[in-house]
Structure 1
Amino acid sequence: MWSLFKELRLHNKLAAQRNPMFEKNKFAKFFLFFGGLFWVGYLIFLGVIIAFALKKSIINLEAYQALNTILPLVLSLDFLMRFPLQKPPTQEITPYLLLPIKKKQVIDFLLLRSLPHFINFFWFCFFIPFALITVTYTYGLSGVILYNLGIWLLILVNNYWYILCRLLINEKTIWVLLPTLFYLALGLLIFLPDQSPIGYFFRALGDYLIEGRLVAYIGVLGCIVALFFINRVVVSKLIYSETSKSQDSTKVLTISSYSYLERFGEIGEFMRLELKLLLRNKRCRVSLRSIAFLVVIFSLLISFTPAYDGKFTSNF
């Protein structure tokens, strides 16, 4: 089993190196590295600033308890960040379907490979300085370690939740309603009631994680394992449905010529080629719809909410 994982990992590295854009990607990686350093520094700065701000402004709660109350918002932001940065595992399993390898082992490898993804460690840059300032005084260094361990486990839950939603959305766009309604209901439960049950739950969960209570860790690990096996079942069914599809070779395909773009001359020709490129297959169409959906959501947020009013605009 482990030898298979090592072999598949080697294949992944070789695939990246054999890409004709590998040499050019090195320059892109160079700039991405400095961009990553910027965000690391920015998150550390935010962790320090928010820690001191909460310690001064919150009276009836500890600073880390106040942050834990709105922890679902952080997880929601983490969920959205994964769309452009993390791809679903089904895109890489197809070449192995004809080989004498157990399909479940390949699926397990691809799901487990998502654990060390850099985005699962991204939030440490925020929570470590925050915990050092707010948790150390009450629970010491052990509390800081346990708190960040608990946050990391919650991020892993979010990781498999994202993969599940992404797989379903790639299959049928209507599944975009699943995370939308989920996070909408979560937001309503946080902000509408005077005593938010979700906020109370995450505040208590954060306290249990800091105190090292096994019940909290077992519960979070149980969620990770459950989502792992749900993803395994979903990936297996999606692969089976793709391989069992039989297309009729006599089917006449109708391809739009986009003749209405001819009036724009050479620019219209480029626009027509671009449209054909974007709409050439299902995966490209799904990606286009996903990006359009995110743009619409962001536009609605800045248009109909006070998110970008006041000091928030200048700070972010």
Structure 2
Amino acid sequence: LVNYLLIKPLLNPANYLTLCFAIPFSVTGIHPAYGLGGAFRFVLIVIFLIWFNTLFASFLKRKFGSSITGIASFLLIVAGLAALEYFNIYSLFALSQQVFGFLIENPIGWIIVLVFSGAAFLLNKGFFAQNYYPENFDRKTIRKQAETQNFTFMERFGKIGEIISLEMKLVLRHKRTKNVLYTAVLFLLYGLLFYPSDMYKENDAMLMFVAIFVTGIGMILFGQWIINWEGSYFDFLMTRDIDTQSYIKANYFLLLSLSIISFILTTPYFLFGRDILINHSVAFLYNAGVNIHVYLFGATFNTKRLELSKGSAMNMQGVSYKNFIIMIPLLVVPMGLIGIFSLFSAKHIALIILAVLGLAGIVFWKQLLEITEKQFLRRKYALCEGFRKK
């Protein structure tokens, strides 16, 4: 049974789509330099690399699953390797050329890759042997539940703390919300695509877009689902002893916490200069004072229930045109404001306007939440009806 589970993915034709590129390249690129034998060895090496990647990826997934530690370690390794390449400390591209050159030239090169594939197979088999017994499944379930039930410290903040604790458990217990959490961590590196490049240094609107995106990535990704991710049990939630004010405040503080965490994690971008520091500070104020309230108010119009048990990759379930409309005040308005004032060399005025709007939203947060609370009460029954539909 274990052998079947391990070999079955290797028979998936989708894994071998790479050969559509590898075989023509072996004819046009490898054959002229290394001859027919080299071209044949190259194709074998690619096949065995596919086996190795499939088996090793399966092992990592079984070993670490969706744990924060595994994702964080992967991101750190990728970021470290990218930094080595970017700062010309060590070229991985040159190393890969040398490795592939050696494997193709050496008559037993393909055997080396086959050995690595066999090692990956044995790693998986050993993992199955150690862990896949019924009693181990029970221990894993108990441990997983314990990991997501340690937010009792939030209860000291009263009803609002209890609701936030439930929201945090919801995030960590469901596949889709966990995937979004890992996506948010990955998007924290989004600024590295823009800030080091000279191409965008004069594009103030784009730099503001990046600043708002990375400093509010947690709030942006989770904010679009802030009410409809509870659609499966929304009727039950409405029957509980939870007043609307506490419910709205809990969601507000949850999004605010995500904004603060995102801002803190993006402070290393300040090394790119004073302009980035100013952009990020203004973007944080705008996210905390404007965008959060826009999300909370707009969430009352989204009546599509979100299925949390499904993954988020290529999954548009629960997403409607309303999710895209709400992006206008979130991203388009500040970009447009910065772009227009930059045409007149008055970018600083746009920054002041955005900062003042953000500060006003932070200072008058209670009054703004009262508006959202009244809107929620008007839309509550429409939300209940919409969430009942599958």
Q: Shorter-chain TM-score: what band?
A: 0.3 to 0.5
Larger radius of gyration: 2
Higher normalized contact order (CA 8 Å, seq sep 6+, divided by chain length): 1
User: Normalising by the residue count of structure 2, what TM-score does the alignment of the two structures yield?
Assistant: 0.38
